């Protein structure tokens, strides 16, 4: 199973200028195993590196268009492997972040839209707060 993951990670970086170090493999393995954006705080317990090393590698991944990022209401930066362009929903009350798989009909002539952030109140907070 590790071989398959490693093969997928190698495919991710195959057309880039990235050398696969153990730290970079560890970061990419975590993101490859999830279907939602994660912040540093979400995964720091799973990493054997300091915060500076994490962000230095994330910056390189963003430069090479492997990782996509955005900031949430809680001022945390969330990251995910760049796949198909899609929207994200951020709850204004609990700051929960969700990927939305529905196609958006938003277009701007002369622009390429890669990410749309929609903010509102999630269904859990709606029930809990009778909003």
pLDDT tens digit string along 19-46? 999 999 999 999 988 888 999 999 999 9
**36 lies in the same domain as 66:** yes
Pick 111 or 2 by higher pLDDT. 111
- Is beta strand 97-100 parallel, antiparallel or unpaired with respect to 86-91? antiparallel
H/E run at residue 48: none
Residue 5 has pLDDT above 80, yes or no: no
- Out of 64, 81, 98, a domain closes at 81
Span 3-27, mean pLDDT? 82
**113 lies in the same domain as 67:** no
Kindly report the average pLDDT of the chain as a whole number.
87
**68 lies in the same domain as 109:** no
**64 lies in the same domain as 92:** no
Span 4-24, mean pLDDT? 83
**116 lies in the same domain as 53:** no
Q: Which of 3-12, 44-53, 75-84, 106-115 has the highest mean pLDDT?
A: 44-53
| Residue 4 banded pLDDT, cuts 50, 70, 90 | very low
The residues, any chain, with a CB within 8 Å of residue 60's CB and separated by 6 or more, are 18, 24
For residue 99, how many other CB atoms are within 10 A of its CB? 13
Per the structure, the complete domain to which residue 59 belongs is given by 2-81
| Residue 131 banded pLDDT, cuts 50, 70, 90 | low
**44 lies in the same domain as 75:** yes
**106 lies in the same domain as 67:** no
Q: How many domains does the chain have?
A: 2
Secondary structure of residue 5 in the 3-state scheme: helix
**38 lies in the same domain as 98:** no
**108 lies in the same domain as 62:** no
Span 50-79, mean pLDDT? 93
**98 lies in the same domain as 73:** no
The residues, any chain, with a CB within 8 Å of residue 57's CB and separated by 6 or more, are 21, 23, 24, 27
Span 61-77, mean pLDDT? 90
Q: Are 126 and 92 in contact (CB under 8 A)?
A: no
**14 lies in the same domain as 76:** yes
CATH assignment at residue 73: 1.10.10.10
**41 lies in the same domain as 95:** no
């Amino acid at each position: 199973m590790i071989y398959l993951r490693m093969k997928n990670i190698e495919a991710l970086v195959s057309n880039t200028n990235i050398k696969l170090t153990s730290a970079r493999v560890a970061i990419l393995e975590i993101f490859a195993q999830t279907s939602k954006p994660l912040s540093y705080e979400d995964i720091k317990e799973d990493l054997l590196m300091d915060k500076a090393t994490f962000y230095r590698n994330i910056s390189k991944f963003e430069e090479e268009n492997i990782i996509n990022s955005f900031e949430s209401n809680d001022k945390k930066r969330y990251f995910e492997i760049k796949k198909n362009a899609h929207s994200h929903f951020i709850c204004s009350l609990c700051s929960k972040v969700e990927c939305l798989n529905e196609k958006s009909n938003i277009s701007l002539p002369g622009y390429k839209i890669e990410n749309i952030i929609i903010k509102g109140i999630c269904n859990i907070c709606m029930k809990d707060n009778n909003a």
